Amino acid sequence: MSGLSLKSFQRLPGGEYLQEGLSDLAAGRESVPSFLLAIASQRLSAAGLPLNGALPSDPELGLYRMLRAAHGDDAHSQFNAALRRLTSFCQTLERSG
């Protein structure tokens, strides 16, 4: 892991997904945070944040379906907003390493 602690990661834009996503992946649970971490798994691993547990297959589709169930017609905008937060998190993490 880079020089940042888990607590420091959580302060990054999009870092709110980290703790829950890591716990959910380790337990094999599907959640918005676990899907997001699975989507970014290669970038996160390259930045020194390896993911434990099996990654869900087709996490983009799983994320959209979960958001559709929770937000109905607003799922597309929720999906895009979540991906923007994830991208921001990855970019900040990559710059900090």
Global pTM reads: 0.87
Alpha carbon distances (Å) from 53 to 20, 50, 62, 70? 13, 10, 17, 25
Residue 95, pLDDT score: 84
CA separation for the pair 44, 96 (Å, rounded)? 12
Structure tokens at 9: 């990661």
Tell me how far apart the alpha carbons of residues 33 and 18 are, in angstroms, rounded to a whole number.
7
CA-CA-CA-CA torsion sign (39, 42, 48, 52): positive
Structure confidence by residue, pLDDT tens digits, 18-76: 888 988 999 999 999 999 999 999 999 888 887 888 899 899 999 999 999 999 999 99
